[in-house]
């Protein structure tokens, strides 16, 4: 393996973060740029530098870093935050721990060797499996909320479409008289 200089890696990361901020600002909007920067800073400082090495809850809280993309994408396209990207954030945030713990079960020795307190290392594989089976309940609840709200939004759009169509049809019929 080729050794990587820590200073150069830091410089490269800062440059990529800076360029992404500028690109979001220029080609999307300022809110998307700030959200992307917030997600990057959360990942670097909260998850990687603090939680990953010091807490068995690292992936539970750190899952927030991986949940930023739907917020960023939504804001990049629409220019504002609504309930839908927040619920998508919540689904990914709650889905991350059981997903990652399943992967961590296979790399438990690696985490143990380098001193990363992942759940399989600190609680063992049996407790990790119990947590994996317990955790999916919350994302399912959140997904159900998304479906209900989406269906209501679709119904409202359909109602609006019918209203517009009926109003237009009535106006045309009146104009023909």
pLDDT (tens digit per residue) in 117-147: 999 999 999 999 999 888 766 666 666 666 6
Do the domain assignments include residue 113?
A: yes
In a domain, 165, yes or no: no
pTM of the complete model: 0.74
Is 29 part of any domain? yes
pLDDT at position 79: 96
pLDDT of res. 104: 95
Query: Which residue shows structure tokens 């609006």?
Result: 160
Residue 19: give the domain boundaries.
6-135
pLDDT in tens, 31-68: 999 999 999 999 999 998 889 889 988 998 889 999 99
């Amino acid at each position: 393996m080729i050794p990587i200089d820590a200073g150069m890696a830091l410089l490269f990361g800062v440059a990529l973060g800076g360029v992404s901020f500028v690109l979001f600002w220029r080609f999307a909007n300022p809110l998307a740029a700030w959200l992307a920067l917030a997600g990057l800073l959360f990942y670097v400082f909260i998850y990687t530098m603090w939680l990953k090495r010091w807490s068995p809850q690292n992936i539970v809280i750190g899952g927030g870093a991986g949940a930023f993309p739907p917020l960023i994408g939504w804001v990049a396209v629409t220019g504002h935050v609504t309930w839908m990207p927040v619920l998508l954030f919540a689904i990914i945030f709650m889905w991350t721990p059981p997903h990652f713990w399943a992967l961590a079960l296979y790399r438990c020795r690696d985490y143990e060797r380098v001193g990363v307190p992942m759940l399989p290392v600190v609680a063992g594989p049996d407790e990790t499996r119990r947590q994996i089976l317990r955790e999916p309940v919350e994302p399912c609840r959140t997904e159900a909320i998304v479906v209900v709200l989406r269906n209501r939004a679709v119904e409202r759009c359909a109602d609006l479409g019918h209203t517009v169509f009926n109003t237009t049809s009535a106006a045309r019929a009146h104009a023909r008289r």
